Structure 1
């Protein structure tokens, strides 16, 4: 009997164009747009040009140093600070008018750089100019030591080399992991919200729930059919999101496809993540049933369900600062957090069967607990019929 209830609820849901729109079309378009946005904006190698304002009487040495930077445009003005405050320059530089002379006489002239830390572009310009000036400072020190017949290597007894274990694609993978988690998890949740609200709170509001439970069909079969209908739409939305993401990255992007590089392990990537999304959809479906049973109207149900999206994002922000190598077993055992951890691990090319099993096992456990709560509520008239 559960099959007939499931089939009836699915047919009713798919007859509604809004369900198809929210479950399939919007996730596909949203995912493709997000993939293109990441590849063309976040991962694009755009050459920025920074305007640096200096006074018209600026020492020629400073102007020459700034001119060595291809991405810096020197703007001379009578009031460099005013030019920066009017957003016509990212930085303003002031220094002694006799900078070169004082430098030659070892009088320690100063350079003052003004910038707005609230501006990303100004911060980038500040790092660039400060780094270049530091290089010039080291060159000046080396030249002075050579002139004094002192070995410059005495000031540099050892060298520190900084390398990253993620290679050149580290930042690209970081951005892909951030966006892919949003695409896949929200795809599942958004696919289930509307139908979950309608199948319980909606039927109570329309007064059709009473007629349904008066039929000879056992309540267990009714709730199983409804739960599978809710979960199926989440699964469809999640799988479409996954396929759209994989195909979009592999066939419509360059930098993301090169960084992700999942072709050799495509089967494990898709099957592991797809299975994880299925269990996640089953868990979300059982939780949404509980909220929908608590509500007497669809509006009330929306009020109960809306916080779920916000709560679901808490693990996302907790994991955003962790590398995949820092993900221990506990992250794959906590509901909601486990799907985010699994996505991040797979994006970084770590294919661990044990982690996948942890996710599936813990998800199955919490699905059983939440479904048992929903079924217990469904057996009681005050949750099924609502306020009479």
Structure 2
């Protein structure tokens, strides 16, 4: 009987075109856009050219300062700041009169850079100009010291060699944030409409009473509906991940280079799917509870909205944490443990203790929430509209 009810509810969910669109197509479209957005983000400023506004007195000697930066286009203007305000340049560079002459004669000279720190393009250009000016400054200092017969080692007593602890591509950290975010959103969006319809929808359509009059026990009916929600969530999450993986592999360059699991590829993928299913079951329990409490579909969706937003907080928490800094609480707290464990897996780290803690914590919370939902479902107050 449980299997028959489960298959019936599953068919009803996928028969509805609106639900099919919301549970399958919409997450895929959203995650596809998110994937290409992150690819564009990590592409940086390769091939990007920036327009720098300078004064009319900016001569060839001044241009030599920026000679090593081919992606900077110089535009001369009588009022560089006005050119910047008009949007014809990304930043403006204003040098004091007779800048080069003053530098050569040892007099004081000044440089003013004007830009918009809230603009990515302007910030990148100001950074490039600052680097060019720093190189020029060091060159001037070196020439002056050599002219006085001073050893250059006096101004550089030591060198700094920065080495990364991990040899992984830096972009893997971005993917470690992207994949859990995609998964949590896809599962929530996929399971949400089905959860609202299977309980609150039945009450709103006045079909719940007829359903309870059948010889099926309420716990069996509840479990079948919960299993349907969990299945739809898991299927949506896995399909979305497959589509995103294919897109990363075939349609991106920087993100594809960052992913490399080596000999652990099979285990990483297997545990990733397992965690996805467990998280879908946990989400299904929460959405089932909100649907049981809600009297209408709209009310149920209002209750479930905060659940969709839960993924925002783990994203902010785990972004600035290294893989070696993850501890027990990161794997013991539901939702947060999804991000933490997938981050480990994407870095190629397989820690069975962390996997067990994640699965156990999600199962415990899921069972507790399911029991609460079962208690409510057994009472006519929450079942009848």
TM-score category of the 2 structures, normalised to the smaller one: over 0.9
Per the alignment, residue 233 of structure 1 pairs with 232
Q: Does the CA contact (< 8 Å) of 2:234 and 2:276 recur in 1?
A: yes
1:36 is displaced (CA, Å) by 4.1
Q: Distance in 1 between the 2:52 and 2:40 partners? A: 27
Deviates more, 1:91-100 or 1:331-340: 91-100
Query: For the residues of structure 2 that align with 1:163 and 1:332, how far apart are their CA atoms?
Result: 29
Q: Are the equivalent residues in 2 in contact too, given 1:59–1:98 (CA < 8 A)?
A: no
CA contact (8 A) 1:59 1:100 kept: no
Instruction: Give the superposition deviation at 1:125.
Output: 0.8
Counterpart contact for 1:239–1:274, Cα < 8 Å: yes
Deviations 1:202-238 (A, max 9, x none): 1111111122222222111111111101111001101
Asked if the contact 2:310–2:335 (Cα under 8 Å) also holds between the matched residues in 1, the reply is: no
Q: Secondary structure at the match of 1:164?
A: coil
User: Is contact 1:197-1:302 (8 Å) kept?
Assistant: yes
Measured against aligned partners, the alpha-carbon deviations of 1:338-376 in whole angstroms (never above 9, x if no partner) come to 111122222222222222111111111111111011001
In structure 2, relative to structure 1, the CA distance for the partners of 1:361 and 1:47 (3 Å cut) is same
How far did residue 307 of structure 1 move?
2.0
Q: Secondary structure at the match of 2:310?
A: helix
- Equivalent residue of 1:68, what SS? coil
1:293 corresponds to which residue?
292
Q: Is the 8 A contact 2:192 2:304 kept in 1?
A: yes
TM-score under structure 1 length normalisation = 0.93
**Are residue 371 (structure 1) and residue 370 (structure 2) matched?**
yes
Q: Which residue of 2 aligns with 1:248?
A: 247
Offset at residue 335 of structure 1 (A): 0.7
Separation in 2, partners of 1:168, 1:222? 49
Greater mean deviation of Cα atoms: 158-167 or 201-210: 158-167
Aligned-residue CA RMSD in angstroms?
A: 1.9
Give a deviation string over 1:232-289, Cα, whole Å, max 9, x none.
Answer: 1001101112222333323443332221013632211221111111111111111111
Matched, 1:126 2:126: yes
Structure 1 residue ranges (4+ consecutive) displaced by more than 6 angstroms after TM superposition:
none
How far the C-alpha of 1:41 sits from its partner, in A, is: 5.6
Residue in 1 that maps onto 2:147: 147
Tell me, in whole angstroms, the C-alpha distance in 1 between the residues paired with 2:233 and 2:168. 36
Give 3-state SS (helix, strand or coil) of 2:73's partner.
strand
C-alpha distance in 2, partners of 1:49/1:239? 40
Is 1:184 equivalent to 2:183 in the alignment?
yes
Distance in structure 2 (CA, Å) of the matches to 1:384 and 1:4: 22
What's the counterpart of residue 192 of structure 2?
Answer: 193
TM-score scaled by length of structure 2: 0.94
SS of residue matched to 1:52 = strand
Q: Which residue is 2:5 aligned to?
A: 5
Alignment of 1:148-227 (within 5 A): 148-167=148-167, 169-170=169-170, 172-227=171-226
Change (3 A) 1:115 1:151: same
Once residues 374 and 320 of structure 1 are traced to their aligned partners in structure 2, the CA distance between those partners, rounded to angstroms, is 34
Report the more deviating stretch, 266-275 or 317-326. Answer: 317-326
